[in-house]
Structure formats: structure tokens, C-alpha cells
A and B are shown apart, each in its own frame.
Chain A
Amino acid sequence: MKDFIHFNAYSIDEAVALLSRYGGNAEIIAGGTDLLGKMKDRILPSYPEALINIKTIPGLDQIEEKEGMISIGALVTLSCVAEHPVIQKTCTALAQAASRTASPHLRNMGTLAGNICQDIRCWYYRAPQNRFSCLRKGGGRCYAIKGDNRYHSIFGGSVKGGCFAVHPSDTAPALIALNARIITSKQSISADTFFNVGVTHTTVLANDEIITAIQIPAPAPDTRSTFQKFALRKSIDFPIVNCAVAVTEKNGSIAHARLCLNAVSVVPRRAVKTEEVLTGNKIDETVAEEAAMAAVADAKPMEGNAYMIPVTRAIVKRTILACRENHGG
């Protein structure tokens, strides 16, 4: 790893002060599982001069229920989220998503906040020694377009000519389906609008802004949520497709639905048309199938990733159907 200066921050203010002092040349480290991998592989053209450890800030590792909110501190690990009984019960999709992320060890280390801030996994972007100077590094082109794009976006690109790297988070779609808000040192942002792809960034966070908590409004009564993931391996693997859905039922039919896909497009993708299909209906095979079709209606596969369309359809359908079967919450 390249040399860097290491700070332990003892308050959010201090972390923010350090960030602004380094003006974009510092990184926050919590779980570190994504950041250290990037640094070891030297994938980027330039490296942070400083790492600011926020694990030393007291109070950020709590899950609290207050005023109709579940508040998950920025240092809460994925395994704590996955195993938390209230989250399991009321925010099932999030608990399931957390439990399917990475591997047990990484879940003990990585945080929920870190999971939604993680960088893309595109193998051109991640090639060691900054082998490909791609769009996301300020370079000239996306190498995946003419290269091997079996794990790239089926919903178009981002950044100038089009970077087709997908967003790899498992928990992001669950947070969006559950209408979560991301609380930062500056503002409170809807999870829906949190993700924003550009050169060297994947979220709307400013250089001197850090997540302090993630808040999920307690779901309305008769709301159920589920999450499903498709990956080649059942552990230590990033999703090829994942999907989270939250539905609220009234008088036996769906009054309200939020469904989000990820790993198939450059940012987590709210499937609005799918939600429309669901709303007002009862969940059954036919409705789920129709809703799943709607989820992929706009898909434009590249040469190597057309298979992701049927997989997405199947996963969306199954997530919806599992929501029907899942009476736990």
C-alpha cells in the first residue's frame, strides 16, 4: 500500500474538519474492506494522502428505535443489521440483504453505511496498477463496451460516453424499498436520490461530508418486505442481480409498493412501472410475472449480458412472491 497519514477522529466535527482540510485527498475508513482492497491493488491514478478512521467516534455503532424511526449508526456492521431482531421483523428486506452481503467475516467488519458508499467492481476499473484509464478515472473510454461485459449494466451507461459499471451494493435496494433516509454531517437525503455516479464518485456525498446514520421510517402496518439475490456463488460474491420490495396491503390488495433492483444498472434502480403494476392488485403468479416483465421493459443489454434480463425477471418475480409468503413482517 502507498503511504498515508492516519487519523483517528473522535467526533464527527473532527472527521469533517480533517476531510475539508485535505480537500478531497482524504478518505474515511470504517470497515475498510473496500478501501483497503483498492489501495492494495493500486487501481486508482492517485491515492488518498490521509485516512480518517471514524471507528473512534463514540456513539455511531448503535441501532435505535425512536419516534417511528429505526436509526442505524454509521458504524453499525452488516452482521449487526442482519441479526437485529427488530430489523428482521419490520425491515425484513434489509436484514436479508445484509445477511447475503459478502461473507460472514466481511459482514463482521463492514458497515451498512460503507456498503452503500462502496465503489464499483468493474474489472476494468479494478484492474491492478491502474491498467485501464477508464471514464470513471477521468480517462477517455469505457473498456467494457467492446470488452467482456458479462457483469455490466443492462440499463445503459453513465458519465459522458457511458460507463457501464453497475452499482454492487446488496443493501442499497433494500434501503430504497424501505424508503430510508441517509443522514450525513450536512443533510438528510432520501436513499432514492443518494446515489449519483460521476468521475470518482458513486454518491451525492461531498468531499467533506460523511454519513452519520441511516434512518428507516417504521413501516406502516401490513407492510412486508423481502430481498433476493442472484450471484454465481452463494457466498463471497457480488450480486449479478438483486431486488428488494416493500408492499403495504390494505383490504387484501396492495395499497403501496416500492421495488428496487441493483447490480443491473449504474445506480440502484427503482422499478416504478413494476410498482404501478403491483399497486391495487393482489400478489399472485400472474401479477408477479407481469410486474417482473415491467421491470425489464427498458433493458438494453450489451453483447455479453443479455442473460441478466431473464434472471432479473425471475428474481423480481420471486421477490414479489416471497413477499406474499413472508408473513413475518
Chain B
Amino acid sequence: MDHLSEKEKQTMRDLQDSLTADPFPLKTYTHIGKRGPRRLDGLPKASGKADYTMDVQLPGMLHMRFIDSPYPHAKIISMDTREAEQLPGVRYMLRFDNPELPERASMGKVSGLYGDPPPLSGIAHFEGEPMGAAVAAESEEIAEKALELIRIEWEPRPFNLDIIKAMEKDAPLSYPEMYPDSNYWNNGLFDVLTQGDVKKGFAKSEKVIEFEFVRRGHTWIGPERPCGVFQWKGDCPEVWVKQQRPHLVKKNLSTWYGGVPMNKIQLHCLYQGASFGGWVQVPWNMGPLYCAGFVAKKTGRPVKYVFTRREDFYGGSMDGGTYRFKVGFNKDGTILAVEGTSICENQIWPVFNPMNHLKESTRIPHLSGKCVSIWVNKGPTVPTRCEQLPTTLSLTAIFSRVAAECGLDPIEVALRNDGEEGHDMAHLNKKKKKLGFAVIDSLKECVDKGKAAMDWDKKWHPPGTQKLPNGRMHGLGFTWTNEWDDSLGSSEMAIRIERNDGTASILAMGCDNGVDAENTYCRIAADELGFRLEDVHYNPQVDTGFFRMSPDSSTNMSINGWAVRHAARILKKQILEAAVGPTAKTQRGSFRPAFPDCKPEDLDIIESVIIKKSDPADRIKVADFVREAGQSGPLTSTESGGFRWAFTEPLFAYSYHVQVGSYNPVNPRPHMTRQAHFLEIEVDTETGEIHIIKVVNVNDVGKAINPMSCEGQQYGGSIMGLSRGKFEEMIYDPATGVLLNGNLLDYKIATTLDVDAPIDTILVESGMGYGPYGSVGIGEDVGTVMTGLIGPAVHNAIGVWINDHPITPDKILKALGK
């Protein structure tokens, strides 16, 4: 019965945390799960017709550029802008000491962590920070020239680059305005995780090891650089943003310039040249937008700002830091206790303890984890593809070390320790059953499929033992963890039936980040409504007043998918009710129903046609049912010849979904789905080169609504992860704090030739995910987990642990004593 009962509707609305299996599953999937249906964004993107914010040009538009601090920590003592202001073509010089600029503004999700800084600062906390002055000119060239004419007297301050040194008592302060006492910033704030008693655990363990590794900071590199365009239409701002979270821009913007009512803000969120979480939350991207709006108001002209490629470089991922572990285990690979500390630089969201995944998805009884975030004078670090980088790096390192110490296959160690919050699989299985899911051993399924694809059993060997005929050492790496995509968030989505042709439009603003999500929502809507896929469209670039997860908080599909499902079910009910009842009322009475003698449950919609179930020949296309709109619409055209056609009131439904999620510290539902990744490499021991030979990614995605999109995340995640593992790091000059490799020649991301190995993408569908139809997101997982997998593979090849990531050739040669 597709028709919605009151009870079901209520349940849907109450379905807040997706804790249990869906009590009202969809019976048949027509578009969901199919390979191949068109990407909505495909044609525009492949043909160069997809417009991005960086492409926007408006008549009379000014270009704005910023001073980049030449020092990692410095204050402007005095600034002479007179000469720059006189340069022909300069239209506005915004100085940090402009009295009309506020001392504080709300800028980005974690603006508060920086004390809501000023939109344009007179103090720099990292080299390259856009600050001091913003010049708006007729062209970028003129703006750039003007910047060179500004004379600044700086007060350079002592600075920190190294987190360990910054922890010392007499270390200079990196951010004294916000943190005047020390460079520690999350002392006592979500920094400690404990479970059981690690001392007892170590005492019981047959073996205890300790180790430490360093992960060098790396960055996201959005292909399209941070940018925005701002113009005022009277007192209404019209804004184009490169922003992953348009709703956040609107919210922040409404507090600027003395307050702008939300309903006066017109927002455009065009295609987004990716950001992977970068620049989402920090003030350094929102401040320039504030300045653009300020200058646009002053000059009466549209103002565009675009970061330079180098300015984009200064942000980074949250896992840059030093990691220390003590692990107690038995010789059979059973891990009893882990104590771990991660000390990370500028971790903006330091709630992701290195022990998180061990707690969430292992049976290890005794855990103690501490995550320390230290301010240094480098750019902000935000969740880049995912803030779970530190915790997945940790899990990979711990499990591979234990396997190596025990002389065991790491897969065996994974299966032995799989579980939940210190309990074994039997315990987790009971929970699965209780929540209404089929009891499936997700890790076992992932591992079996992956082993077969990799031919693992044949290839596995003890570390440092397999020299190949080509002289290289052969290495295998394996890691695993749970899938996450179960964070908190809310989504509001609506569907409207277009009057003239009966097609459906999904309404909700969100950024397109390339995962073909819009098509996925269309598939859900189509299957729920009984529409043809081509009759459902979704343009998320328009501000319709509804905002969905976008992507935020590591979760999109598992929240948005529900919202669109709920809305589609409500809308379908509306359509069927309209089809049987007198609908729109006019001065001349009600219109005749399309199916006068039926109840809604007698009808169904198949391929965009309303049919009578008992007599499918009795049918009307949704397009014919909804009729025309406007003045030549129902009243005139439907009464020709004295015959009155059916006419409905507007068909529109909205719904929403709110999820508390299972992020630390809230954990209302266990993580049930798993992922497993396999890597085969060859190490050239003469040059230290790592050659990638084969990759196998297995993800239990619960239900693959859009399989090719899932595979895209596996391919992309593997390439990004291996690129991070092999090459990526931000290199600073130790003496001056200047970023040395802030360009795409010196900061190396993998090319087509660097990860040219076959990548096997395997999807497991256990139905145990948080999202609709049992799905769970995949976008963050592979890139995040694969980043640490080079380490164990290199160890398996050469028999030596390299404790400094990325693993570049110099480190391999050093480890080999060369």
C-alpha cells in the first residue's frame, strides 16, 4: 500500500534519528539503484556550460584584492594608502582601521572560536593571511598594482610553526588576542575519551607496544578558488557565493551591515568547484565577502573578490600533528587496551579523538584517548573531506602494528576485534536485530569480497620478505573501519508539481559538490511519486527558502534523502486525494473529480500516469490532470462547450528531516556498516619510490541509490587519499614561517600517471545505514581512510615502519639506512 496513512505520516515526521530500520519500506525500486540514468549536471559540466561563481561578471563590476601578510605573526603599526588610492582605476580603499567596520562579525560556522573576528584584521596570524586592506578597482590588475603602492610599517611578532615547541611553557603566543594564556586551545573541551581502565588492560595484555608518528599538514585545494560577488539592489543584497553551506552565508549576512532581514537577501549558489570542506567554516572566506558587501554599498557597484591560488593554500586538513600510542594485546591479535594522544595543529573542531573509531566499532574494552589542539601560526585547519582523518589514521596505524607484532594477517586482527563500544559482535548483532535490521556481518562481507578481488590470500606475506624479479619489494596494506555519514543536521525540502506539464521540481538550496546528489534526490522522488525520472528535476542553485544539508556535518544523503522521501510521499497522497475529490473551488462551484467514484487508495501513479488499480485502462496523465496555469488557464479553457475539466489546487508538499546523529558525544545508534580497503604496492629500494599496483575499495553503503556516484567516490577517494599519503604536505620555511610550496607545481597532487593502477570498486548493500532505504553516505570515507594506508603497505614491503607521513622517497631511503 503506497498510500499514506495518518499513522505513517506521523511516523515519518517523528522519524527523527533514523534509529530503526524503515518500518515503511518502498516495495519496488524503479530508478533507485539503477546504473546509468543521466547526471543532471553532466551535460553542462562536460560542455563547459556549467557556470561557477568565478565565472560571474556583472556590468560595472569592481574587482577586490587583499594584502597578504608577509609575516606569520605581525601587527600593522601604520599604513599609508594615499599613493594607492590615487592610482587611476582604484575605486575604493577599505582599510582595516575604517571606523565603519565592526570590531566583530559573525563569519562562518566556528566564527565564535576566533572570537568573531573583525572582517578585515590589522593583525596577521599566519603568513599569507588576507588582511590589512582591501582594494576595489576596475580590474584585478589595477587592484594588484594598488596593493604594491601601499606602504606598511609592520611589527613582526614571534611565532610558532612547530606544535611540540608551541606547547612549551616559554613558547611565544600564536594567537594572543583569543588565547592569551597558552597555545593550548581545547584543554578540557571534548579532549578526553575513556572506556574501561587502560591500566588494567595493559596489565592483562601479553604484549604492550608504544609508537609515535607524525602527519604533516596537507590541504584541500578547491579547483575553483574562494570567491564571491556582492551587489545591492536598494537595501536588498544579491550575492553569489562559492560556499559549501549557502544557508550559513545567509544567516551570517543577515547580521552584517546593521542587520539585513533574511527575506531581502537574494542568494545564488552556482556550481561549486569543490572544496571538500575547506573554507566552509572559517572567517577568512567570509571576511572578504563582508568587505565586498561593504564596498559595494559605498561604491554602488557590484564587487567581486577571488582569492589567488596561493591564498587558497593556507587552509589545511585537521590531521596535521603528532600521534602517540600505547597498545596492549594478546598474541592472537585480540587488542585489550589502547592509550592514544593526538596533538594537532590549529584543529578547528577538536572533538575527534584519535580513539573515536576504536570506541565506535571495536570490542577493545579499555580505551583512553586525548586530542590536543595547539595554535601555531599557520592557516586554519578545517575538516577536509572529513574531520575523521585523525581517528582513521590512528585506527589504521594501531591495527597494522598489532598485526605485524603478532605476525598475523591484518584482516584476521580486524575481524577479531570488530564490535561496538568494547563489546563483541554478538552484542552488536543483538542490537541490529532489536532495531529491525537483518543481522549481517558487514565487515566479513566487505573483507571476503575485497580479499577475492585482491587475491589477498595468495599475495599476503610477512613484512619485508618479498623481493620481486624487477628488484622492487612487494607490499600489501589493509585497513577498515565503520562508515560514518550519521552526523547531526536538518534538511527542509519541497516538491512542486508544475502546472502546465505535470513535471515535478524539487525545491531546496544546496551546493553542488559534484557527487551527482541532485540526480539521487530525483530518483528518490521519482520512485516515491511513481514518476518517470525525466519528469523530476532539481536545480539547487536557486534560493527557494528551503535549505538542505549542503554538504554539511559529514552527512547529506542520510538526511536529505529522508526529507525528499517524506515530501514525495506526502505529495503523492495529495495528488491521489485531488484525483478523487472535488478539488479547486471557484465562484462556480467545485470541479468534477478525475476519478469520481474512487478513494485515493484505489489509485496509483505509474510512470507519471494516475491509474485506477482495478482497471489500469482508466487513467490520466499527471500532466493532463494538473492542466494549465495562469489567466488562460482553468476558468476559460475548461468550460469550452459547456464541459468542465478537472482542475486541481496547486500541488506542493514540503517535509523535513532532523537527525541528532551519532557524533561524539551523542551516540543513539551503533555503527553497523563497515568498509575495507586493500592496497598493493611495489617499493623501489634504490630510489625510495612507491609504485601503486592495485587498489580495492569495498564499502558497505547500505543501499546504493546511485551506484555510479558511489563508485565515483571510491575512485576519487583512493586517488586523493594515495596522493596525500605519497606526496601532500605544506612546507613552511622554518626561519620565516613563509609557505614555500603554495602552488600546484610544488604542492604535488597526483596526476593521471601517479595513481594509474586498477582500482576495483565494490559496493556491499546490507541495508543497515542511517539513510533512506538503509543507505549510508560514502563521500568522505574512502579519501579519508586511504590517506593512512600507504604506511602499512610500505611496512609490509620493506619491513620498517615509517613514522612520518607523507611517505616520500627520502623517508624510505632513510628507513632503509641509505
Contacts and interface: CB of A to CB of B under 8 A. Distances in A.
A103 B745 CA distance: 11
A124 B687 contact: no
Interface string B360-378: 0000000000000000000
A127 interface: yes
Contact of B751 (A42, A146, A236): A236
Interface size class of A (residues with CB under 8 A): 20 to 34
B734 A148 contact: yes
Contacts of B9: none
B809 A147 contact: no
Nearest to B689: A230
A295 to B, nearest CB: 14
A150 B731 CA distance: 11
Given A150-B810, A311-B809, A129 B748 contact: no
A309 to B, nearest CB: 8
A236 B740 contact: no
Contacts of B734: 146-148
B666 interface: no
B733 A124 contact: yes
Interface in B728-753: 731-736, 738, 740-742, 744-746, 748, 750-753
Given A123-B740, A235-B753, A236-B751, A146 B735 contact: yes
Interface residues of B, number: 38
Contacts of B750: 233
A128 B809 contact: no
Interface in A151-189: none
A128 B743 CA distance: 10
B752 A311 contact: no
Contacts of B689: 230
Interface string B433-456: 000000000000000000000000
B277 interface: no
Interface string A1-31: 1100000000000000000000000000000
A284 interface: no
Contact of A233 (B145, B686, B736, B748): B748
A238 B751 contact: no
B745 A236 contact: yes
Contacts of A322: none
B681 to A, nearest CB: 15
A232 B686 contact: no
A311 B808 CA distance: 12
B818 A1 contact: no
Interface string A192-211: 00000000000000000000
A238 B810 contact: no
Contacts of B726: 232
Scoring B684, B752, B754 by chain A CB atoms within 10 A of each residue's CB, the highest score goes to B754
Contacts of A85: none
A127 B813 contact: no
B727 interface: yes
Contacts of A42: 148
A1 B145 CA distance: 9
A124 B740 contact: yes
Given A150-B810, A232-B808, A235-B752, A311 B731 contact: no
A307 B809 contact: yes
A314 B808 CA distance: 16
B312 to A, nearest CB: 13
A315 interface: yes
B687 A311 contact: yes
A76 B752 CA distance: 27
Contacts of A310: 686-688, 813, 818
Contacts of B686: 310-311, 313-314, 317
Contacts of A237: 745, 748
A41 to B, nearest CB: 8
B210 interface: no
A125 to B, nearest CB: 11
Contact of A123 (B68, B687, B688, B741): B741
Nearest to A313: B686
Nearest to B732: A148
A234 interface: yes
A238 B753 contact: no
Contacts of B732: 148
B814 interface: yes
A143 B733 CA distance: 9
Contacts of B68: 129
B156 interface: no
A307 B813 contact: yes
B727 A232 contact: yes
A46 to B, nearest CB: 13
Interface in B498-556: none
Given A310-B813, A314-B687, A147 B752 contact: no
B253 to A, nearest CB: 31
Interface string B665-708: 00000000000000000001011110000000000000000000
A233 B754 contact: yes
A327 interface: no
Contacts of B207: none
B805 to A, nearest CB: 14
A163 B813 CA distance: 26
Nearest to B733: A147
A123 B731 CA distance: 10
A131 interface: yes
Contacts of B810: 150, 306-307
Contact of B814 (A124, A233, A307, A313): A307
A139 to B, nearest CB: 14
B310 interface: yes
Interface in A302-329: 306-307, 310-311, 313-315, 317
Contacts of A148: 731-734, 740
Interface string B742-778: 1011101011111000000000000000000000000
A123 B746 contact: yes
Given A233-B750, A310-B813, A127 B687 contact: no
Contacts of B733: 124, 143, 147-148
Nearest to A231: B748
A171 to B, nearest CB: 18
Contact of A232 (B738, B740, B809, B818): B809
Contacts of A238: 745
Scoring B687, B742, B744, B818 by chain A CB atoms within 10 A of each residue's CB, the highest score goes to B687
Nearest to A314: B686
B650 interface: no
A307 B732 CA distance: 20
A32 to B, nearest CB: 16
A124 B739 CA distance: 10
A232 B748 contact: yes
Interface string A229-264: 010111111100000000000000000000000000
A186 B580 CA distance: 94
Contacts of A124: 733, 740
Interface in A94-125: 103, 121, 123-124
B70 interface: yes
A317 B687 CA distance: 11
Scoring A103, A235, A311 by chain B CB atoms within 10 A of each residue's CB, the highest score goes to A311
Scoring B68, B310, B752, B810 by chain A CB atoms within 10 A of each residue's CB, the highest score goes to B810
Contacts of A314: 684, 686-687
Interface of B: 68, 70, 141, 145, 148, 310, 684, 686-689, 726-727, 731-736, 738, 740-742, 744-746, 748, 750-754, 808-810, 813-814, 818
14 contacts: A123-B731, A127-B738, A131-B70, A132-B736, A143-B735, A143-B736, A146-B735, A148-B733, A232-B809, A237-B748, A307-B818, A310-B687, A314-B686, A317-B686
Given A123-B746, A310-B686, 8 more contacts: A2-B145, A127-B740, A131-B736, A143-B736, A148-B731, A232-B808, A235-B751, A237-B748
The 10 A-B pairs of least Cβ separation, nearest first, read: A307-B810, A314-B686, A234-B753, A123-B740, A310-B818, A235-B751, A307-B813, A147-B733, A314-B687, A311-B687
